[in-house]
């Protein structure tokens, strides 16, 4: 009985946290330290399909949630390609094109943030 109440309370908290106002994540809004980060999207799908042993549903959902806070949709789709083609990431990282340099700066910051938040 106590386990059922705990699950019900957890589900209610998750439901209420989804009502946080606004229609998208923003890196300017803080997420409580005890909040569970989870979302689905292009990063989540690429992470899950990569076949890595540590690519659990929870971890991939967390890195997608951080991506939602840090990256635009087009940046997420571009970065998702790195999971299946790491050479593409290397090419972007080494590129001298200003658009690639701006993207890489944002992608690197996103990766650092995901590494901190999605242990």
Host domain of residue 97: 34-117
| Separation CA 101–CA 109 (nearest Å) | 12
Residue pair 24/41 in contact by the 8 Å Cβ criterion = no
How many domains in the chain? 1
Encode pLDDT of 14-52 as tens digits.
Answer: 333 344 444 455 555 555 666 789 999 999 999 999 888
Digit-coded pLDDT (tens) for 50-94: 888 999 999 999 999 999 999 999 999 999 999 999 999 999 999
Does 111 map to a domain?
yes
Percent of the chain whose pLDDT exceeds 70:
71
Q: What is the mean pLDDT of the chain?
A: 81
What pTM was estimated for this model as a whole? 0.70
- Measured CA to CA, the distance from residue 88 to residue 81 in angstroms comes to 8
17 membership: H or E segment, kind and range: helix 2-17
């Amino acid at each position: 009985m106590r386990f059922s109440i705990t699950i019900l309370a957890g589900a209610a908290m998750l439901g209420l946290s989804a009502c946080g106002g606004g229609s998208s994540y923003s890196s300017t809004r803080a997420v409580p330290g005890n909040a569970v980060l989870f979302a689905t999207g292009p990063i989540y799908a690429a992470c899950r399909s990569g076949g890595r042993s540590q690519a659990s549903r929870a971890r991939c959902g967390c890195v997608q949630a951080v991506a939602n806070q840090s990256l635009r949709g087009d940046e997420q789709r571009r970065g998702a390609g790195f999971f299946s083609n790491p050479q593409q990431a290397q090419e972007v990282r080494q590129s001298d094109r200003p658009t690639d340099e701006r993207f890489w700066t944002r992608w690197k910051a996103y990766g650092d943030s995901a590494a901190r938040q999605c242990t």
